[in-house]
């Protein structure tokens, strides 16, 4: 299955530094880095260092970490200068949600007027 926890994802290599990323923020629990294929002038990802494969697999013990990711998303959005005009936070989950990397990540997208609803 795509969420096979025995297989590392590309994000493990970003966490370990084996592949480069434009890191915007890092602490002991999480990292924020620019998306390699940006969908807006500002598009970065916030990921936990401890892997959760997808939102729908989150457990009770993950609640504090999920909160930390959400808090970090807005803190980095403010640092990046997109918060005054507003921005979007998205988690794609599973096949219908178009998730492609099975290491949970918040997309933070802004820097222009976005449209809604998505396709
Ligand atoms: P998903 O579709 O799983 O929600 O989004 C995965 C995101 O990861 C995509 O927006 C894609 O551009 C981004 N991504 C995939 N591989 C890499 C990579 O090696 N480096 C960076 N910075 N972003 C990546």
Catalytic residue among 43, 68, 103, 105: 105
Q: Average the pLDDT over 46-69 and give the result.
A: 98
Our answer on whether the CB atom of 54 is closer than 6 Å to any ligand 1 atom is: no
Our answer on whether the CB atom of 16 is closer than 6 Å to any ligand 1 atom is: no
Q: Model confidence over 101-114: pLDDT tens digits?
A: 999 999 999 999 99
pTM of the model: 0.97
- 105 in active site: yes
pLDDT level of residue 1 (50, 70, 90 thresholds)? low
Rounded CA gap, 12 and 99, in Å? 16
Closest ligand 1 atom to residue 13 Cα is 19
Rounded CA gap, 68 and 81, in Å? 20
Pocket test for ligand 1, best of 11, 23, 24, 45 (most atoms within 8 A of CB): 45
Our answer on whether the CB atom of 10 is closer than 6 Å to any ligand 1 atom is: yes
For 112, the 3-state DSSP assignment is coil
ipTM, interface predicted TM-score of the complex: 0.99
């Amino acid at each position: 299955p795509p969420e096979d926890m025995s297989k590392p994802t590309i994000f493990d290599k970003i966490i370990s530094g084996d592949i480069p990323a434009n890191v915007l923020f890092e602490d002991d629990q999480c990292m924020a880095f620019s998306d390699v294929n940006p969908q807006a002038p500002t598009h970065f990802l916030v990921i936990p260092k401890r892997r959760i494969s997808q939102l729908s697999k989150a457990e009770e013990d993950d609640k504090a970490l999920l909160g930390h990711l959400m808090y970090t998303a807005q803190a980095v959005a403010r640092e990046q200068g997109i918060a005054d005009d507003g921005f979007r936070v998205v988690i794609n989950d599973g096949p219908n949600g178009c998730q492609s990397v099975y290491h949970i990540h918040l997309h933070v997208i802004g820097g222009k007027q976005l449209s809604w609803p998505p396709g």
